[in-house]
Structure 1
């Protein structure tokens, strides 16, 4: 599989690609640049909105607009551009990171300390009325989160552990249990960062410092590696016609001599078949 350049950019910390199926566009963020980007591959149209805080993720809402995982909490961006806070929880030295929308429409939002201290981050579940429930309270760098096609399994990455963990997920209550390792990224191959799950239950994982995206089969065995020219590969998501194209975000922060494509969005056409992602019900 070979990559193409979808969006040439110099994002400090490109993250969180999400396909907005209703709008036919890709949404992604530059966390440290405090920017939310959109890209329409059909027309080539791009938009950029600057946020007042570092933004860890932006996801579509069921009624239009976006939900934003921000440094001091979660906010709603209405279709007309109006911003409204939904959940306010500022903690000095902590910021938002990756997030995902569960099959029931709740937002599972991750946090981390700027210094990446162990135990300084969380993963919490937020419903449309702003009710927050802590799912994990002892995380260093909360990253990729996703669900199996039937919604019975939830995957989560705490990057410094090098593990992709899997939980049993109760779709009715939103509760998780039975945490166990699904796969482990070996020393020297980078750290697992963002993830997405395909229609066959395969788990695709971006490797920070590993210059690659990996696909793990539903049983956790490694069955595919896509090599990339940039070291800091942050996250991936399926989009485009038939959800067949794999979009990949990258970063350039901290690199003394970044590759010309570092911070760009790459795409691997026809990489597989993704799952339609639910919108936030709020």
Structure 2
């Protein structure tokens, strides 16, 4: 696929999510999890059967990830919570801050959840990134971000990629023992190409980044070179993740919020079959 013309995407789930986000493949169930942040909904999609489920949450949700023992961990407006396999809900760590909500999250190779927050007004310094372990211990990692977004780890776990969207940068840190150091810029999104949002790392260690207001997903090599562009028909592309039984299909979430004349697929879950090869993601160890 070249940077010219549309990529060969398909609509996996036709929906009108206000702010579709956070696609995550759950290998234990063979389902794709995704959310509507402002719609306060958790969606599941089973590509083998086409079966879909929707569950509404009591507050805005920033991310959902599978747990190692079954059930889900939720990054919610007021903190991190657990959904048990029987559907029961409990808080793991509750820390409400007026004007702030949860945003994107990722599970590290050690099973910890790296959970981001942001202010509703997107004020600089109003967001955070925290490392949450299975027992509910919370360690602040970054405390001065605006819109904590894409987070992911290299195949060997030694690097962490991270996006604070208004900076227009994809940053990379050295990662060891739950600590990050040596922040530097992997790539910068040029003016007019949108803002970097969610990301995923593939089996080659390349970083795929969704571009909000850019209508595309880009792949950057570990050296920071842009080597692929998947063009999509709706501008508000929010996040991407590999899924399917062999992790070769790239699922992409989109949003309708703020669009005066949304494209028919805005808010749907899209898929680009055979786009690459993903990495199996760790489940949350709690």
Q: Shared fold by TM > 0.5?
A: yes
1:32-43 pair list within 5 angstroms: 32-43=38-49
Matched, 1:62 2:99: no
Corresponding position of 1:92: 98
Matched, 1:101 2:104: no
- Give per-residue Cα distances to partners, 1:33-82, cap 9 Å, x unaligned: 00000000000000000000100000000000000000000000000000
Matched, 1:275 2:283: no
Corresponding position of 1:213: 217
Contact 2:27 2:245 in 1 (8 A): no
Corresponding position of 1:15: 21
Corresponding position of 1:121: 127
Task: Using structure 1 for the length normalisation, give the TM-score.
Answer: 0.99
Matched, 1:3 2:9: yes
Corresponding position of 1:241: 245
1:120-159 pair list within 5 angstroms: 120-159=126-165
Corresponding position of 2:197: 193
Question: Where do 5+ consecutive residues of structure 2 fail to align?
Answer: 2-7
Corresponding position of 1:111: 117
What is the aligned residue count? 280
Offset at 1:241?
2.4
Corresponding position of 2:5: none
> Secondary structure of the equivalent of 1:157?
strand
- Give per-residue Cα distances to partners, 1:200-222, cap 9 Å, x unaligned: 00000000000000000111000
1:252 to 240, 248, 256: 256
Q: Could you list the runs of 4 or more consecutive aligned residues of structure 1 that deviate by over 6 angstroms after TM superposition?
A: none
Offset at 1:182?
0.6
Task: Using structure 2 for the length normalisation, give the TM-score.
Answer: 0.97
Question: Where do 5+ consecutive residues of structure 1 fail to align?
Answer: none
> Secondary structure of the equivalent of 1:271?
coil
In the aligned structure 1, how far is the partner of 2:272 from the partner of 2:222? 21
Matched, 1:202 2:202: no
2:59 to 34, 53, 58: 53
